[in-house]
Amino acid sequence: MYTQGLLEQGSKTVTVAAVEDAERLQRFEAKIDAEEKIEPKDWMPDAYRQTLIRQISQHAHSEIVGMLPEGNWITRAPTLLRKSILIAKVQDEGGHGAYLYSAAETLGISRAEMIDQLLAGKAKYSSIFNYPTLSWADIGAIGWLVDGAAIMNQIPLCRCSYGPYARAMIRICKEESFHQRQGYDIMLKLARGTVGQRRMAQDALDRWWWPSLMMFGPPDGASQHTALSVRWKIKRFTNDELRQKFVDFTVPQAKFLDISVPDPDMRWDEAAGQHRFGEINWAEFHEVLKGNGPCNRERLTARRNAHDAGRWVREAAAAYAAKHTARSVAAA
Amino acid sequence: MSARADAGVTVAVPDRVRHLLRIADTSLVLAQRLGEWVGHGPAIEEDLGLANTALDLLGQARLLLAYAGELEGRGRSEDALAFLREEADFLNATLAEQPNGDFGDTIVRQFLIDAYQLELYEQLMTSADPRLAEIAAKAVKETRYHLRFSSAWLVRLGDGTAESHGRVQGSLDRLWPFTRELFDADNLDRAIAVAGIGPQLAALGAAWSARVDAVLAEAMLRRPAASPYRWYGKQGLHSEHLGYLLADLQHLQRTHAGASW
């Protein structure tokens, strides 16, 4: 799962002017220019730190919230093998969340703070998870399209200038690539299946196609942070470049499945060597980001409920650990 | 297996299949319950821990169901057995189908079953049925880890705060009556034991009891009194909860008859 062009959204405008020490900044940028990694103990401009905290924590939140729409089908997976694969996949997403929270913690923020921000509705997560999973084909479509889009975004992040994030992404990308393949495999089985299964597959593509394109974030012209993020090698490609790559990659896969991309304007541009596609409904995107998507409230409520219902458990674990430490100290 | 086996005693195939289904269905139904937790655990690590256990149990269920299907010889696959049997044909222990409740309920249910499965699989490793022994040898390693996870949580909750102690003692009191079924041998259990395929349940119960008591003591929890026995899930007589669980589990296979996934 994944971070979208989320870092563009609603953040304060931070400028390099805020950086007090010109010399340290110069050394920092020289390191980045030389493709060296920035590590947690290195000096970094506050704007770099804040951008990364925002991006990595949004990515972590996306993994954790993303467990909900897919988890919705664990009890109803159609075979025991599919059920095993889905549990393992959702478990991977949870693992990515934990791993990414740790990467963000190297920048000086705690997991508890980040989770509080999420539960308070102050932090963003990928808008795609505010759409419902209505059929088994949605589990296929999420793997194929959503994880596919995530991979497009994340492969360049493996070369991100911040060491802990880049290393986390290498591991995460390997797993996402497996997720993408299992999603496509679900779609293939449905597309070659009964009339009812084919209808399910087409319906899933109809509902997930546009939200998947929105995962790359707003168009480059409307993007606030791209320039600085590109200069500091947090980001290697623009939103539109990645979106185009995704479309060109995915349209032939849909053809192979013999289901149609729900875009009447989609056509192959021979001269440009790429697909032209229709206008994305950015009003819908912004509404979903503002909290008005079909499942925003449900997703946050589910996270809050899990957090609240788990409070006595976490308190018990802390109390037990404290007693245990006190006892071993007393015994020593 | 200690109390083993008049050599040459055989058990009819349908009974051997039913014996396998008792073990398989307990793992399958418990995995299904744990699957409901994914994404809703008290912390990410616990979410992952419960999912891990669910995956192992599902793996065990698949091996056992596939074997049961082969032994039966009517061409039923693991999926046919999981998705197309009716409630009364499920032979899981009633404890496994009890709802998740709060995290404490889930941990108590898990602990009681983990301790039972560990004793069971340790005994089955020397089963007269080599295929079952092989499955048990794989499962026993996983089950040791499950029991470590559930015991550690039971101790933390029992010896944590006053609230957690009260909650988890309540879970134990509620779920305890379901444990009696696990060790109360019926004719099938006795025949299986005599043939050396499975253990004597009374002996299994004694070992389980000792193991459980040790953890309960560490968790500062009181062992509930024995209660009259009234659950017979292993004979297909279930609590009200299994029907709903199967409705979820079997939904797609039932709706799209004959489709392949």
Report ipTM for this prediction.
Answer: 0.96
CB contact under 8 A, A94 and B47: yes
Identify the band that residue A18 occupies on the pLDDT scale cut at 50, 70 and 90.
low
Interaxial angle between packed helices B241-255 and B13-35, expressed in degrees from 0 to 180 and rounded to the nearest 10: 90
B3 within domain boundaries: no
CB contact under 8 A, A91 and B45: no
Q: Which of A65, A80, A175, A192 is best to mutate for the B interface (most B CBs within 10 A)?
A: A80
Identify the band that residue B227 occupies on the pLDDT scale cut at 50, 70 and 90.
confident
Find, in chain B, the residue whose alpha carbon is nearest to that of A82.
B261
pLDDT of residue A21: 76
CB contact under 8 A, B62 and A67: no
The residues with which A38 forms a beta bridge, in sequence order, are: A162
**d(CA A5, nearest CA chain B) in Å:** 24
pLDDT of residue A4: 52
How far apart are alpha carbons A255 and A145 in whole angstroms? 14
The mean pLDDT value of chain A amounts to 92
Total of domains in chain B: 1
Identify the band that residue A230 occupies on the pLDDT scale cut at 50, 70 and 90.
confident
pLDDT of residue A299: 97
φ and ψ at A275, to 5 degrees?
-80, 145
**d(CA B221, nearest CA chain A) in Å:** 14
Q: Give the domain range for residue B226.
A: 13-255
Contact between residue B53 and residue B110 where contact means Cβ atoms under 8 Å apart: yes
Q: Among A115-119, A170-174, B57-61, B66-70, where is mean pLDDT lowest?
A: A170-174
The mean pLDDT value for B242-259 works out to 97
CB contact under 8 A, A302 and B39: yes
CATH classification at residue B77? 1.20.1260.10
Contact between residue A143 and residue A183 where contact means Cβ atoms under 8 Å apart: yes
Contact between residue B138 and residue B63 where contact means Cβ atoms under 8 Å apart: yes
pLDDT of residue B7: 53
Q: Is a pLDDT exceeding 90 seen at residue B2?
A: no
Q: Among A99-103, A140-144, A235-239, A293-297, where is mean pLDDT lowest?
A: A235-239
The mean pLDDT value for A300-308 works out to 97
Quick one: what percent of chain B has pLDDT higher than 90?
94
Identify the band that residue A115 occupies on the pLDDT scale cut at 50, 70 and 90.
very high
B1 within domain boundaries: no
B153 within domain boundaries: yes
Q: Which two tokens stand for residue B72?
A: 């039966």
The mean pLDDT value for A279-286 works out to 96
CB contact under 8 A, A310 and B103: yes
Quick one: what percent of chain A has pLDDT higher than 90?
84
C-alpha separations of B165 from A328, B115, B155, B169 in Å = 21, 21, 9, 6
**d(CA B39, nearest CA chain A) in Å:** 5
Q: Among A48-62, A210-224, B132-146, where is mean pLDDT lowest?
A: A210-224
Give me the residue from B55, B159, B258 closest to A88, CB to CB.
Answer: B55
Q: Which two tokens stand for residue B73?
A: 């010889």
Give the model confidence (pLDDT) of B167-193 as tens digits: 999 999 999 999 999 999 999 999 999
**d(CA A67, nearest CA chain B) in Å:** 5
The residues with which B232 forms a beta bridge, in sequence order, are: B237
pLDDT of residue A186: 98
The mean pLDDT value for A18-42 works out to 88
**d(CA A135, nearest CA chain B) in Å:** 10
CB contact under 8 A, A67 and B259: no
Q: Is a pLDDT exceeding 50 seen at residue A2?
A: no
Q: Is a pLDDT exceeding 80 seen at residue A3?
A: no
B140 within domain boundaries: yes
B114 within domain boundaries: yes
Residue whose token pair is 């655990």 = B41
3-class secondary structure, A268: strand
CB contact under 8 A, B39 and A67: yes
C-alpha separations of B37 from A310, B48, B60, B130 in Å = 12, 10, 19, 35
C-alpha separations of B188 from B18, B19, B22, B179 in Å = 8, 7, 11, 18
Closest CA to B47 of A220, A226, A92, A113: A92
Q: Is a pLDDT exceeding 80 seen at residue B91?
A: yes
Cβ neighbours around A305 below 10 Å, total: 11
Interaxial angle between packed helices A111-119 and A296-309, expressed in degrees from 0 to 180 and rounded to the nearest 10: 130
Q: Is A326 on the interface with B (CB under 8 A)?
A: no
CB contact under 8 A, A320 and B103: no
> Looking at the whole model, is its pTM more than 0.80?
yes
Closest CA to A164 of A109, A210, A91: A109
Cβ neighbours around B58 below 10 Å, total: 23
CB contact under 8 A, A75 and B59: no
pLDDT of residue A232: 87
B6 within domain boundaries: no
